[in-house]
Amino acid sequence: MSEPHTLAAPADDLFTFWPRHQEALYARLESKHAWLEERHGLGDGRVHDALEHEMTLNIGPQHPATHGVLRAVVKLDGETIERCVIDIGYLHRGTEKLAEHKTYQEFMPYTDRMDYIAPYAYNVGWCLAVEKLAAIEVPERAQWIRMIGSELARLSSHMLWMGVGLMDAGAVSVFLWAFQAREDIYKIMDEIAGARFTVSHSRIGGVANDLTPEALRLIRDFVDRYPDIINGWRKLLTRNRIWMDRNVGIGVLTADEAIALGMRGPNLRGSGIAHDIRLFEPYLKYADVDFTIPTRTEGDSYARYLCRMEEMLESIAIIRQCLERIKPGPIRNDDGRKAVVSKDQAYYSMEGMIQDFMYTSEGVCPPRGAHTYAAIEAPKGELGFYLTSDGTGQPFRARINTPSFANLQGLEHLMEGAQMGDMVVLIGTVDPVLGDSDK
């Protein structure tokens, strides 16, 4: 390892942060192979004239349409994006490194901060991964509760995508409706977990607390009201001329491209690949409920819109089935070495207190050398945790495989050849969350 270099003193007139980084980024933009130039060179009617038309534009990381701290450096030929280099990492917090220094249960709240749009699904993903690593069984009721929470998270995420996506395209009212709807989900989360945003409700071996009658009432009410509301949105948008003009034929990904680029979730399903972890590797109780995976073959931005809207209705159908089939019972594994004991036991019994103490300080210890990959279908696609254990209470290595990271890689490809005016729609259609991609 080399010595830390000392930065050259910035020039008086122009100061640049991280000069080497900027230099490498722009050098990449220049050296990148541009398939668009090649196509123009082949003489399909257009003559490529670089003179006077080229422009390098830096979008983000503070631009509001980039949904966070996404930075795209594009080279424009007139209005056409010729090359695009995406720079991420502005929200990098070293989550994987942090995980190596926490017990498995201690790390769970950090997963809230990854995809902060759908934290419940990430809690569940982490807990399922640890349960697989340590072979911990989960009571049925907890699995149903987790499913309800995960599907609510999916609804919340897709609603945010719809709201901000339409706001980017110019329809501010849909943004307000979507946030009104998300407020209802927040109320449910508040009732389920005691927190609106960073829920941290799932525990290794179960969930923190049971659903209250009020929470069940709120969920039932939500499930009854929302199919009509979502259908209302679809009625407004699906044949809406402006929305169709902005989306049909924009950002087309063929099935082969989507697989080669490693796209995930609705971005993959919009291109005709019916890949969903809920079907591919059914976790929780997804094998027992009846639902379909909405898939479109067009592969454009509009197809992804249709997939997500249908997925919202499917999620509501899944929640409805969960509510029908959920039975009273324990909500957490009863073994004090595998799951955190209830507060009643911790406060009023000696064994419970000892177990609580040991669980907090040492926690779950999976066998030495165990390594497993557990994936869930997060709202944005496959979310996987590849955990390696060295037999202690802290993961030796926690690899977090996030959907937004893979999708953003595809965005670079989608942008090239697109019109500058479509850039905002394309970012919206890929649905990135930078907390998720940057870890």
Partner 1 sequence: MESLKFHFTPVDAARPNAVNPHAQPTTDRPEAVAMLRDAFGDGVTGDETYAGETTVFVAKGRIAEALQRLHADGYSYLADLGGLDRFTEDDRYEVFYNVCDLHRGRRLRVKTRVDESDLHLPSATGVYRSANWFEREVFDMFGLVFDGHEDLRRMFMPEDFQYYPLRKEFPLLGIPGSLPLPGHLPGEDLSYDPFPAASSPTPKSFQEPEVSGE
Interaction with partner 1 in 272-291: which residues (CB under 8 A)?
273, 275, 280-281, 283
Q: Pick between residue 366 and residue 379 the one whose CB is nearest to partner 1.
A: 366
Cis before 4? omega within 30: no
Applying CB under 8 A, the span of 40-48, 150-158, 191-199, 373-381 interacting with partner 1 comes to 373-381
Nearer to partner 1, 181 or 263 (CB): 263
Binding residues among 6-65 for partner 1 as defined by CB under 8 A: 7, 17-21, 23-25, 28, 32-33
Q: Which sign does the torsion angle of CA 413, 301, 265, 119 carry?
A: positive
Query: Is 259 buried (19+), middle (13-18) or exposed (0-12) by CB count in 10 A?
Result: middle
- Phi–psi pair at 335, nearest 5 degrees: -80, 120
Tokens (6 digits) for 206: 């179960």
* Alpha-carbon distance values, 366 to 131, 285, 339, 390 (Å): 9, 24, 13, 8
Instruction: Answer yes or no whether residue 416 interacts with partner 1 by CB under 8 A.
Output: no
Q: Which of 137, 214, 224, 245 binds partner 1 (CB under 8 A)?
A: 137
The region that residue 281 occupies, defined by phi over 0 for left and psi between -120 and 50 for alpha, beta otherwise, is beta
From 200-208, 213-221, 254-262, 420-428, span contacting partner 1 (CB under 8 A): 254-262
- Kindly tell me which residue out of 119, 363, 379, 432 binds partner 1, with binding defined by CB under 8 A: 363
Q: Could you say whether residue 405 binds partner 1 (CB under 8 A)?
A: yes
Q: Could you tell me which stretch among 1-9, 144-152, 204-212, 302-310 binds partner 1 (CB under 8 A)?
A: 1-9
Nearer to partner 1, 263 or 331 (CB): 263
Residue 430 beta carbon to partner 1: minimum distance, rounded to whole angstroms: 14
Contacting partner 1 within 287-346 (CB under 8 A): 337
79-118 positions binding partner 1, by CB under 8 A: 88-89, 92, 94, 96-98, 100-101
